[in-house]
Structure 1
């Protein structure tokens, strides 16, 4: 029995959609291309997803889960606030360094959101992902600063991260993310030096 046969049709469709949506865009990718890439009949797609819109949302949710796994793998080695912030940046660098059909094209979630109308479930899912990333940064920074300062700094680092991802995607390489991580290191070091740690925080 082949490896493809053992993989459930739903997963094969999601995997195929992930490759094609990232490489060619969601709107430009038709159902026929997805089913051909997955090696399943068109009816199989509609047996697993009510519509292409539902498949696109599933793709976005899968990308979010994929990033969380990259972050958690990095976070296992975190021993300080600085390490925690680096883990977030490194998880994005891991994403950028993965193998793609047409190379790295930036944040797959932002690329997807750019194709969707305002208020759509997919855009809402991308927004929640970005909010969670910023919240994770803030959680790490609370070891160094009071809540308000940690949140404000997390917002700055999130903007730095998004800018680096955009430039890295345009240039098709991950070194912009390495530069951004070094900038983030400087921000966190300055925060520690300023001594904003709360009474209950642990540097």
Structure 2
């Protein structure tokens, strides 16, 4: 038997879902709280009962995006059987993100897009930086099973740069072709170890 969500949790998830759609499609700065409230179909007070401000909503959105990516990665990792597969699970999570059916098309990494809008020192930028550091750490951990720790760290950084560049360009072009090309390059780099 399914337990119904409390009205507060239901409003919170509606607000986060609406913010995710609107922030990704139009940007954080261009999306006002009234638009999020209208999209969510909740009362204005629901926003302030769940988030202290728009900044709090943005931080929750960024954390949710991070968790969403981790879920994509974990699902891919579950299908891999070796360290090369672990590295490619990370790449495939990027591809899954790029190939999701976005209502207004693929615009690149939602976390990087958000960070570009946030001023230096904004707590949201720390969430994005933490996500990117975790991706590089995951790459390094998989690569350490294939080579020494120094080479694994250097290669993880190179792959991270390649992925970030590919997803940025893919977002600019609106499709995942460059990520597929990056995957091919990364596969060759890792299999050469």
Q: TM-score if structure 1 supplies the norm length?
A: 0.90
1:30-52, CA deviations, whole angstroms, 9 ceiling, x for partnerless residues? 01100000001111111111100
Q: Could you say which residue in structure 1 is the equivalent of 2:157?
A: 155
Name the CA distance, whole Å, in 1 between partners of 2:86 and 2:53: 39
In the alignment of these two chains, the number of paired residues is 189
Of the three residues 132, 137, 140, the one matched with 2:139 is: 137
Q: Deviations over 1:98-141 (max 9, x none)?
A: 11121000000000000111121100000000000000000000
**2:101 aligned with 1:104:** no
The answer to whether structure 1 residue 45 and structure 2 residue 65 are counterparts is no
Alignment gaps of 5+ in structure 2: none
Structure 2 counterpart of 1:77, from 72, 76, 79: 79
| Residue of structure 2 equivalent to 1:57 | 59
Query: After the TM superposition, which segments of 4 or more aligned residues of structure 1 sit over 3 Å from their partners?
Result: none
- Residue aligning to 1:167: 169
Summarize deviations over 1:156-196 as a string: whole Å, max 9, x none. Answer: 00000001101110111011111101100111122x2xxxx
Distance 1:14 1:153 in 2: 36
Residue in structure 1 matched with residue 94 of structure 2 by the alignment:
92
Tell me whether 1:68 sits opposite 2:80 in the alignment: no
Secondary structure class of the residue paired with 1:8 = helix
Q: Quote the residue 2:32 is aligned against.
A: 30
- Unaligned runs of 5+ residues in structure 1 are 193-203
Distance (Å, rounded) in 2 between the aligned partners of 1:101 and 1:77: 28
**2:36 and 2:99 mapped to 1: Cα distance?**
24
TM-score, length-normalised on structure 2?
0.95
Radius of gyration: which is bigger?
A: 1
SS of structure 2 residue aligned to 1:168: helix
